[in-house]
């Protein structure tokens, strides 16, 4: 696979990649910053919310 086609493939999944790469740790660290500790851990919670939201954004094409 050439670099341009790899980049194009990555671009197709940007919402989901953004969710896992940024949104999940952001949610987790936000919870920790305000002193909340949710069941199964803040990171697991962050991943669950981010992947769910990311999937919606991936298929609907919009975050809000």
Partner 1 sequence: MTGQATADTADLAALPAAQLLKMERQIARRHSGMFPWLILVWAFGNMACWLALWPLVFTGTLPLWAAFLVALINLSLVYLPTHEAQHDIIARPGTPLRWLNELVGHGTSWMIIYPFEMLRVTHLDHHRHANNPLLDPDHQISAKGPWSAIWTSIRERQPIGRRQQDYLASLERAGRKDLIALSLMYRLAYFAILFALAWTGHALEAFFLWWLPVQIGSTYLLFFLSWAPHHSGAQGRYRDTRSFRSRLGNIGSMGMQYHIVHHLHPYIPLTRTPAAYWEMRPILEARGCNIAEL
Residues of the shown chain interacting with partner 1 in the complex, contacts defined by CB under 8 A: 4, 7-8, 10-11, 14-15, 17-18, 21-22, 25-26, 28-30, 33, 57, 60-64
- Nearer residue to partner 1 within complex by CB, 35 or 61: 61
Q: 57: helix, coil or strand?
A: helix
Residue 47 near residue 20 (C-beta atoms within 8 A):
yes
Alpha helices in 1-64 (DSSP H): 3-12, 14-18, 24-33, 42-60
Beta carbon of residue 40, minimum distance to partner 1 (angstroms, whole number)? 19
Beta carbon of residue 11, minimum distance to partner 1 (angstroms, whole number)? 6
């Amino acid at each position: 696979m050439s670099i341009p086609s790899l980049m194009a493939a990555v671009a197709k999944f940007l919402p989901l990649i953004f969710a896992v790469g940024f949104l999940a740790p952001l949610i987790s660290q936000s919870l920790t910053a305000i002193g909340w500790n949710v069941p199964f851990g803040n990171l697991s919670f962050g991943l669950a919310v981010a992947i769910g939201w990311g999937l919606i954004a991936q298929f609907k094409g919009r975050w809000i």
